[in-house]
């Protein structure tokens, strides 16, 4: 894997068989922050497209489109960014590796122990069966060997690198901070009297994946940028936030969900004229978060663990 710091390098330019991720490093690493973008990948292998019953446009509806562009400048102020290259419909990097649905595969899964939770049963496992309600990806079953190949070539390299980067930051700075960057449909929200989505939802797994001080700082910065913010409802944090967030060990993880309606046309999957304005706000918030992190109480891991 070639590491580079070209923050403008477009993910879609990586060719027919890209690596699992693009790593954007600063000239000098001066921050414990790692910004991860697991769902904005735009690579759909030809073999996958042939198996899918959906159009290219329908497949793209599951992307957190352009989120990598919204945060593309973080390496200019000492933070690191890792961007997944493969589409979420191909493999979902914000799921546990064993969140597999055996019934969607042909062939024997063997002794592999799966986590068949309600999300997986709904078709939203690590190898998704559905894009959304009424939108199955495949006509029939796919070979189980194909699932394991995706995990081996995309999922494992991505998460191995994330883990390595966080460990390196923790050794260097005494703490690590993962900011997991996502986007969400614009709503209205189901189950909340059709209330409109806010602009930003911060997920810290109800205060268990990072210090409350860090979540509070992020909330204040987004509010100061003129954005409407909520915590944890309905997105409290996915697999990455729960898995990598260990605040008692000074390993913090915070999920950011951005309302797609403020920066993109969700039907056409195109940037709105307001995109650059929203990107400027994201860059300012991210920069301030990195700059002000050192001013948070030194004992925040102990506080978070109480």
Digit-coded pLDDT (tens) for 169-206: 999 999 999 999 999 999 766 555 567 789 999 999 99
Domain residues for the domain of 37 are 11-90+146-305
Q: What is the pLDDT of residues 281-304, one digit of tens each?
A: 999 999 999 999 999 886 554 333
Identify whether 266 is part of a domain. Answer: yes
What CATH number does the domain containing 229 carry? 3.40.630.40
Q: Count CB-CB contacts under 10 A for residue 99.
A: 19
Identify whether 98 is part of a domain. Answer: no
Q: Residue 48, Cα to own-chain centre: how many angstroms? A: 21
Whole-prediction pTM value? Answer: 0.90
Identify whether 31 is part of a domain. Answer: yes
Identify whether 109 is part of a domain. Answer: no
Q: Looking at the DSSP assignment, which residues form a beta bridge with residue 229?
A: 200
Identify whether 248 is part of a domain. Answer: yes
Identify whether 99 is part of a domain. Answer: no
Q: What is the pLDDT of residues 91-131, one digit of tens each?
A: 999 999 999 999 999 998 888 899 999 999 999 999 999 99
Q: What is the mean pLDDT of residues 27-41?
A: 97
Identify whether 263 is part of a domain. Answer: yes
Of the listed ranges 147-161, 262-276, 287-301, the least confidently predicted one is 287-301
Q: What is the mean pLDDT of residues 75-82?
A: 94
Identify whether 120 is part of a domain. Answer: no
Confidence of residue 6 (pLDDT cuts 50, 70, 90): very low
Q: Cα–Cα distance between 141 and 153 in angstroms, integer?
A: 21
Q: What's the pLDDT at 304?
A: 39
Look at the chain and report how many structural domains it folds into: 1
- The pLDDT > 70 percentage for the chain reads 89
Q: Count CB-CB contacts under 10 A for residue 20.
A: 22
Instruction: Say if CB 239 and CB 125 are below 8 A apart.
Output: no
């Amino acid at each position: 894997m070639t590491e580079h710091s070209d923050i403008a390098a477009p993910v879609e330019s990586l060719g027919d068989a890209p690596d699992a991720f693009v790593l954007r490093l600063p000239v000098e690493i001066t921050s414990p922050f790692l910004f991860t973008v697991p769902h904005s990948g735009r690579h759909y292998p030809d073999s996958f497209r042939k198996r899918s019953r959906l159009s290219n446009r329908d497949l793209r509806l599951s992307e957190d489109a352009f989120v990598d562009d919204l945060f593309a400048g973080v390496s200019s102020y000492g933070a690191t960014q890792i961007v997944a290259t493969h589409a979420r419909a191909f493999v979902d990097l914000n799921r546990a590796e064993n969140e597999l649905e055996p019934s969607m595969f042909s062939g024997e899964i063997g002794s592999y122990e799966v986590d068949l939770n309600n999300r997986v049963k709904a078709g939203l496992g690590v190898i998704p069966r559905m894009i959304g309600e009424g939108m199955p990806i495949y006509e029939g079953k796919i070979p189980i060997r194909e699932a394991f190949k995706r995990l081996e070539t995309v999922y494992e390299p991505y998460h191995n690198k994330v883990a390595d980067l966080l460990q390196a930051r923790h050794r260097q700075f005494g703490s690590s901070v993962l900011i997991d960057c996502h986007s969400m449909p614009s709503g209205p929200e189901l189950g909340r009297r059709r209330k409109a989505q806010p602009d930003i939802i911060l997920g810290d797994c109800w205060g268990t994946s990072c210090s409350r001080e860090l979540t509070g700082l992020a909330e204040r910065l987004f509010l100061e940028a003129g954005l409407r913010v909520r915590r944890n409802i309905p997105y409290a944090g996915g697999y990455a936030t729960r898995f990598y967030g260990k605040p008692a060990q000074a390993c913090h993880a915070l999920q950011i969900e951005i309302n797609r309606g403020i920066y993109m046309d969700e039907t056409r999957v195109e940037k709105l004229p307001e995109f650059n304005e929203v990107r400027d706000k994201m860059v300012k918030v991210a920069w301030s978060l990195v700059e002000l992190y050192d001013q948070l109480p030194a004992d925040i891991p102990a506080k978070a663990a109480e």
